[in-house]
Chain A
């Protein structure tokens, strides 16, 4: 059974860098037909996709965050990470990491099939 667990500081000041890590168990971040996503949810609102990284190292980011966000993988620790620079109160949210799967032959049919429990990050002075 694949399990994901987010970790990182829960309180940041404006202009600091948000750094979260997602530890993966029951599966490998190097797996060929998977990718690793970060998704956030401000209180009382919907889900906002942040970005993802494929086993190949290819990354894709939400364009509105592109200049501030970096997703990376550490295969030695079976973890992947999110860094979001220059945070503001608007970045306050529950942050989820998730595993995505897709059809390895077509590259299609992507979906987030395993999720971490989420971690609340608050940005406040």
Chain B
């Protein structure tokens, strides 16, 4: 199985800030990483697929990138509704495992 190491596990930021969340894959997985947002008591929501493709309807302040086996989710100009937990997921092989999650909290 390909593990995804996600960091940080938690993060405090303010409205208007720019934040980055990183996932490192245990081996090369091309661009096959998705990013999800989950709010308390709700199902995850797809934000980014295949490293950098913005899912339809997702605001453009969300972006994704890749450098080797490191994948980054960037949120620019944080909005109040962005405070949530974020997960990466590798889809290069089965099982498509998720990272451990990053909880983004208001500073």
Partner of B44, one of A47, A60, A62, A63: A47
Contact (A111, B50) CB under 8 Å given A46-B87, A46-B98 = yes
| Cβ contacts under 8 Å, B91 to chain A | 109-111
> B94 — nearest CB in chain A belongs to which residue?
A60
Interface size band for B: 20 to 34
Residues of chain A within 8 A of B32, CB atoms compared: 108-110
Check A118–B43 contact: CB distance below 8 A.
yes
User: Which chain B residues numbered 60 to 77 have a C-beta less than 8 Å away from chain A?
Assistant: none
Q: What string of 1s and 0s marks CB contacts (under 8 Å) between A95-109 and chain B?
A: 010100000000011
How many residues of A are counted as interface, with CB atoms below 8 angstroms from the partner's CB atoms? 19
Using CB atoms and an 8 Å cutoff, list the residues of chain B in contact with chain A: 1, 32, 34, 36, 38, 42-46, 49-50, 53, 55, 87, 89, 91, 94-101
In addition to A46-B87, A117-B43, 11 A-B residue pairs with Cβ atoms within 8 Å of each other are A46-B101, A47-B101, A49-B95, A49-B98, A63-B1, A96-B44, A108-B32, A109-B50, A109-B53, A111-B50, A113-B55
